[in-house]
Amino acid sequence: MFVITADQKASRHDIDRAGSGRDDLAARYEGRLVLPVDRTSGDEVQALVADAATALDMVLLLTRAGHWSVGLGIGSVRTPLPRATR
């Protein structure tokens, strides 16, 4: 599994991008998400995907947008999965 965490850069001095970012990712990657994209910590979004191609595409999309610091975690997860990504 791949966990993508994106933290909005300079969130105290910019518009809130986490809500629209979550919605945009959910729409763009519909059908490829293991769990729904989740808003965490106010200015962060987190996604869980099963395949590397989707994870890489999402990381590159967020990074190229210029508004996000992006992290990628790779590994196994405990099952059953919870309802939320965080």
Give residue 84's pLDDT: 80
Looking up residue 60, the CATH number of its domain turns out to be 3.30.70.260
Q: How far is CA 67 from the centre of its chain?
A: 13
Number of independent structural domains in the chain: 1
Name which of 13, 46, 48 is nearest 34 in CA terms: 48
- The model carries a pTM of 0.87
| pLDDT tens figures, 17-34 | 678 888 999 999 999 999
Full residue range of the structural domain in which residue 67 is found: 2-74
Give residue 18's pLDDT: 74
Contact assessment for residue 36 and residue 29, using Cβ atoms and an 8 Å cutoff: no
Give, for all 86 residues of the chain, the pLDDT tens digit: 999 999 998 667 766 667 888 899 999 999 999 999 998 878 899 999 999 999 999 999 999 999 999 999 999 998 898 888 77
Paired sense of beta strands 44-49 and 2-8, if any: antiparallel
Strand-by-strand arrangement of the 2-8 sheet = 33-40, 44-49, 2-8, 68-74
Domain assignment present for 32:
yes
Contact assessment for residue 3 and residue 13, using Cβ atoms and an 8 Å cutoff: no
Give residue 17's pLDDT: 66
